[in-house]
Amino acid sequence: MEFSKWHGLGNDFILVNGSKETISNYQQLATQLCNRHFGVGADGLVIVSPGDSADFNMRIFNSDGSEADMCGNATRCVARYVYENGMTDKTTITLSTLAGIITPELLFRDAVLETVKVDMGEPRLTRKKIPMTGNPDEQVINIPITVNNSVYNVTAVSMGNPHCIIFVDDVESINLTVIGPLLETHSFFPRKTNVEFVQVIDRNTVRMRVWERGAGITQACGTGACATLVASVLNGHTERQAVIKLDGGDLYVEWGADNHLSMSGPAVEVFRGKFLL
Ligand SMILES: N[C@H](CCC[C@H](N)C(=O)O)C(=O)O
């Protein structure tokens, strides 16, 4: 099976052309391929195939085999992948995901790719749409959750996938390996959740670290960066555009007047190969 290895700020993915490869068990393939000792190694597996309602269809599987509704960093990688492999000559590309249609745009300067800007759609803010237990029509802004005998004030935002955002004074002091999985699997989140700890730097800059649902600590999370900006605005911490400083680098996110989130950042192809198992 041929694959291409990509990353968006160190959040790394194995891309497979679904129209060239026959896959019987996606979950098993994802855990095999994403294993960093016995496989290729990645945070996720992305299957790209021709779209019905969009230019392409993308399915995203976390390294634990679970299927994700949406993946921001992977959309940037898929956009470059389909363009640079001659699968399209469009530079604004529609991708069908379980979370809806997502539209990345390749931005060039003097014929050199400068960045990939993605229309990530609208945030979902009610418990029903996160999803989160409790009153379905209620928003979750700065609500206390007790975990491990500590209280965490949570803001919940969905970008098609669930995010639990917590503001702290120093993200480096958070033991993400311990608290991340406890919040990820908390009973308040019936489909589990991604977990972001955020330190506000100024009104246009935040530092964020992430424990991802189904993947653990990653270097960056695109949907998490968008959810972080929404939570930062809702809590009065930032303006509607900000630099989200992640372990793997910076994402530039804006929450537009049209209520759409726009995320801009890099996408890098590292190597190609053939999986033999
Ligand atoms: N682990 C996430 C999917 C990948 C999201 C992240 N890598 C991104 O860039 O948005 C979930 O299960 O919702």
Q: Where are the domains of the chain?
A: 2-120+265-274, 127-259
What number does the ligand 1 atom closest to the CA of 43 have?
Answer: 7
Residue to mutate (ligand 1; options 43, 60, 66, 263; most atoms within 8 A of CB) = 60
The residues that bridge with 16 in the sheet, in sequence order, are: 47
Residue to mutate (ligand 1; options 118, 158, 161; most atoms within 8 A of CB) = 161
User: Residue 161 annotated as binding?
Assistant: yes
The domains spanning 2-120+265-274 and 127-259 adopt the same CATH topology = yes
Q: CA–CA separation, 163 vs 193, rounded Å? A: 5
Whether 204 contacts 240, CB under 8 Å: no
Q: CA–CA separation, 63 vs 46, rounded Å? A: 11
Q: Is 34 one of the catalytic residues?
A: no
Residue 38 main-chain phi, psi, to 5 deg: -110, 0
Ligand 1 mean position, distance from CA 78 (Å): 14
CB 158 less than 6 A from any atom of ligand 1: no
pLDDT value of position 64: 98
Q: What single letter denotes the amino acid at residue 240?
A: R
Average pLDDT over residues 33-60: 97
CB 215 less than 6 A from any atom of ligand 1: yes
Please write the tens of the pLDDT for every residue from 53-107: 999 999 999 999 999 999 999 999 999 999 999 999 999 999 999 999 999 999 9
Of 34, 77, 164, 221, the catalytic one is 221
Instruction: For ligand 1, atom 5, name the residue with the nearest CA.
Output: 71
Whether 159 contacts 99, CB under 8 Å: yes
Average pLDDT over residues 111-117: 93
Q: Which two tokens stand for residue 197?
A: 């700890």
Provide the 3-class DSSP secondary structure of residue 72: helix
If residue 243 lies in a helix (H) or strand (E), which one and from where to where?
strand 241-246
The yes-or-no verdict on residue 272 having pLDDT over 80 is yes
The yes-or-no verdict on residue 183 having pLDDT over 80 is yes
Provide the 3-class DSSP secondary structure of residue 259: coil
User: Residue 212 annotated as binding?
Assistant: yes
Angle at 95 between CA 229 and CA 220, to 5 degrees: 40
At 229, is the pLDDT very low, low, confident or very high (cuts 50, 70, 90)? very high
Q: CA–CA separation, 7 vs 76, rounded Å? A: 9
Q: Is 164 one of the catalytic residues?
A: no
Of 34, 71, 164, 226, the catalytic one is 71
Give CATH superfamily name and number for 127-259.
Diaminopimelate Epimerase; Chain A, domain 1 (3.10.310.10)
Q: Is the ipTM, as predicted for this complex, more than 0.90? A: yes
pLDDT value of position 24: 87
User: Residue 223 annotated as binding?
Assistant: yes
User: Residue 41 annotated as binding?
Assistant: no
At 188, is the pLDDT very low, low, confident or very high (cuts 50, 70, 90)? very high
Whether 61 contacts 27, CB under 8 Å: yes
pLDDT, the chain, mean: 97
Average pLDDT over residues 125-136: 98
State percent of the chain over pLDDT 70.
100
Burial of 32: CB neighbours in 10 Å, binned 0-12, 13-18, 19+? middle
Secondary structure (DSSP) of 20-68: T---S-HHHHHHHHH-TTTS---SEEEEEEE-SSSSEEEEEEETTSPEE
DSSP secondary structure code for residue 172 in this structure: G
Ligand 1 mean position, distance from CA 44 (Å): 8
CB 196 less than 6 A from any atom of ligand 1: no
Whether 252 contacts 243, CB under 8 Å: yes
Whether domain 2-120+265-274 has CATH 3.40.50.1370: the reply is: no
The whole model's pTM is what?
Answer: 0.97
pLDDT value of position 211: 98
User: Residue 25 annotated as binding?
Assistant: no
pLDDT value of position 35: 97
CB 242 less than 6 A from any atom of ligand 1: no
Average pLDDT over residues 125-134: 98
Burial of 177: CB neighbours in 10 Å, binned 0-12, 13-18, 19+? exposed
Average pLDDT over residues 218-226: 98
Residues 6+ apart with CB under 8 A from 236: none
